Chains A and B, each alone.
Chain A
């Protein structure tokens, strides 16, 4: 059971969180102007790296805040968490 450090509530059990997949995937500026390919890319295609991954979590059972985390998908280790309005930190 992972401890996910909520930027507000601190470390809590993973069961309290909802996983949101890749972070930093912006909703397209003008979806109607996209090609079908580009739109499909936005809807269905997400990065799936082995190693550090910038992803979104929501602390649904508590403060209900979404935040970003950099977590190593190979080790489960959370390398950093940051709020939605903070820039992606550099983790070596």
Chain B
């Protein structure tokens, strides 16, 4: 397998590695599994992988209602960073980032993890305060983070317009050098292939339509391909978590919203890093083939339609051109949307549920791609051991009752 670096060659297609010639089997579902993972997105696949790898639990099925990793995993802007504000978040995201750093070798799959650094721009004095606060907290949590001024922003990303004359000038940015992007599909396929190789059954076109609960304990899942017995059930359904939880009358503090993204045509390298801006509401990177990948905030209303409204895109383009005037004649090639499950404090919910043997991983909202290996690791451990892994123990459902929220709105408002 060829593993290549980024942005060097003049023939962009030639840059990309070949995929392995075998990925996974397409087995018929068995009657019973030790663990049934619902949802074949990145989190579900990573969970299955680590169940097999770290815990030797291989009688596992991942049930996916559509095509594998066709949900948010197929449509996120792939930003990976760990510079979140609170200790609890720093713990899980940094654990994840460390895993990313060796994941390519671990999975023996070219996931194109590129640590090109992420800039979060500050445009107002309050942005500056919040940024400095986060940088300082990150440093004390052992996370590489810097505050850079506008001039340094320009050095890191020369096409950013740092003129003071724009509507919302760039006052500086936080910078995490180890942050970056990866190729989303390859990550999913890497986990899938490795899990498959260890015996995990990846079952597509298999929608879970019911959960059997006997004496307060989940025993099986009803699917469009028949009932499947389960020792334990791990829910990794992202945008559809509420719908599934409802099957066991479990109410979740989640709202599912459309979140849109877009790409341009392939362009010669112009954008060496990742730039995010809350205030003007856009984030941009240039992916490996050369397309600009961008996103903005969520559409305001609940929606399961995997599509959003176009004024969001138009606004985003205006914002992008404020920051990057050279993008004027780049072309919008494709837009799309995912369904993100947002929580009141912009932090995930991971752990046990009131239903025995039913485990929950949801609420990653607009920012869970970066957590894929980290949460897969911790969630697998939680499911295997029947207790919360220490790194996710703050992200209980219970926190909404006690009030011990992990409010990451500041670090996560345009959260990717």
Contact = CB atoms under 8 A, between A and B. Distances in A.
Interface of A: 1-2, 13-15, 18-19, 21, 36-37, 39-41, 43-50, 53, 55, 71, 73-76
Interface string B281-319: 000000000000000000011111101011100000000
B254 A48 contact: yes
B305 A75 contact: yes
Nearest to B345: A44
Interface of B: 240, 242-243, 246, 251-256, 300-305, 307, 309-311, 344, 400-402
Contacts of A14: 301, 309, 311
Contacts of A45: 251-253, 400
Contacts of B246: 49
A1 B344 CA distance: 26
30 contacts: A1-B309, A1-B311, A2-B309, A13-B311, A14-B301, A14-B309, A18-B300, A19-B301, A21-B302, A36-B402, A39-B401, A40-B400, A40-B401, A43-B344, A44-B253, A46-B253, A48-B243, A48-B254, A48-B256, A49-B242, A49-B246, A50-B240, A50-B256, A50-B304, A71-B301, A73-B302, A73-B304, A74-B303, A76-B303, A76-B305
A1 B300 CA distance: 12
B250 to A, nearest CB: 10
A42 B165 CA distance: 46
A78 to B, nearest CB: 11
A57 to B, nearest CB: 8
Contacts of A19: 300-301
B400 A44 contact: yes
A41 B253 CA distance: 8
A22 to B, nearest CB: 9
A47 B300 CA distance: 16
Contacts of B304: 50, 73-74
Contacts of B310: 1
Given A46-B255, A73-B256, A55 B301 contact: yes
A37 B242 CA distance: 19
Given A55-B301, A75-B305, A49 B311 contact: no
Contact of A41 (B251, B311, B402): B251
A1 to B, nearest CB: 5
B366 to A, nearest CB: 16
Nearest to B341: A48
A37 B253 CA distance: 12
